[in-house]
Amino acid sequence: MPENCNACERSETASEALSERGARLTDLRRDVLQTLHHSPKPVGAYELFDQLKEAGKASAPPAVYRVLDFLVEQGLAHKLQSLSAYTACKSTPHAHEAFFRICRECGQVTETAVPASLKDVAAQDEFIAEHLVVEALGLCRECQESTL
Amino acid sequence: MPENCNACERSETASEALSERGARLTDLRRDVLQTLHHSPKPVGAYELFDQLKEAGKASAPPAVYRVLDFLVEQGLAHKLQSLSAYTACKSTPHAHEAFFRICRECGQVTETAVPASLKDVAAQDEFIAEHLVVEALGLCRECQESTL
DNA sequence: CTATCTAGGGTTATATTGTAACCTTTAGGA
DNA sequence: TCCTAAAGGTTACAATATAACCCTAGATAG
């Protein structure tokens, strides 16, 4: 891991934002967040656990899940339901919800805003949508080319 | 289970549609489909398995998962990723994709079409979206009232 | 009619993902 | 300094899902 990379800076920014809210970015949380930022594709909880364990930084699965839950609550990370995997939030300010397009070949994920029209439909019949899961699985342009 | 209910009729309709495509609605598949149709809310694979086992109709989890995979492939059922549970497709003709609004109180799910605008966003940058997962978790109108 | 093929399902074992419950540590405030 | 609450450690397990292999019945070709 490079020392002064973009991903690490993001973690620092996150740290400041958190302390304003009375939440703390501990060592373990920072490690997880940076790992997510450094990974080109979503990371499973156990994959994360294995890495942290090798580095002597995590003890058992519950620790990892607690950190992941925290990061998701704070909007610093997202869980991709289709993959049962996690990814750092790439938008600023950090959003709790986004539309994820996931390439099944390279695994890369692009994060965009959830269209207002979808939220409109969600709110029909007085439904209160507390959380949206919006994911598209498919092939990114690059992988279409390389699969020719 | 009532004998001539709407849910059972749907299974028969499904059966005809399938045979046109060269696929068969076997006893086990019909049982699973009807169970899904009769349930007011999504059903987990193991919940389904337990029921079928009690009725002497299923042997082990893989059988259930195979049937569920089949039904989902055929558009007769959907998997709700947020719940790891399954529900019968309520739209006609059967769709492979829909927007699901899931009430966290009563568990009921309403299935509506995925807005075209979302598909448009999905297709940006030449991304080929092969499958969409669109779910909203929240509170339906009825449960808002009863939770006052 | 017989041989073969295949779809569907049975069976066993195991992988993967996620949590409950309880204990220990530690940073920071009264 | 003592206390508290948040964070994390630890053990055990629950819930979800699949790999791999086998068997049978019905379709199909010869």
Residue A4 reports pLDDT greater than 70? no
* Identity of the residue in A117, A132, A138 whose CB atom sits nearest the CB atom of B130: A138
* Mutate: best of B78, B108, B130, B134, partner A, most A CBs <10 A: B134
- What CATH class has A6-88? mainly alpha
Query: What's chain B's average pLDDT?
Result: 91
Asked if the Cβ–Cβ distance from B126 to A135 is below 8 Å, we say no
pLDDT tens by residue, B96-138: 999 999 999 999 999 999 999 999 999 999 999 999 999 999 9
- Supply the DSSP string of chain B, one letter for each residue: --SS-HHHHHHHHHHHHHHHTT----HHHHHHHHHHHH-SS-EEHHHHHHHHHHTT---SHHHHHHHHHHHHHTTSEEEETTTTEEEE--SSS--S--EEEEETTT--EEEEPPPHHHHHHHTGGG-EEEEEEEEEEEE-HHHHHHT-
| Residues of A with Cβ-Cβ distance to B82 under 8 angstroms | 81, 133
Q: Where in chain B is the domain with CATH 1.10.10.10?
A: 6-88
Domain A99-146, CATH among 3.30.1490.190, 3.40.190.10, 2.40.50.140, 3.40.50.300: 3.30.1490.190
pLDDT tens by residue, A53-79: 999 888 899 999 999 999 999 999 999
Q: Where in chain A is the domain with CATH 3.30.1490.190?
A: 99-146
A119/A9: higher pLDDT: A119
Strands (E), chain A: 43-44, 77-80, 85-88, 99-103, 109-112, 128-139
Q: A134: phi > 0 → left, psi -120 to 50 → alpha, else beta; which?
A: beta
Instruction: Report the alpha-carbon distance of residue B80 to residue A20 in Å, rounded.
Output: 36
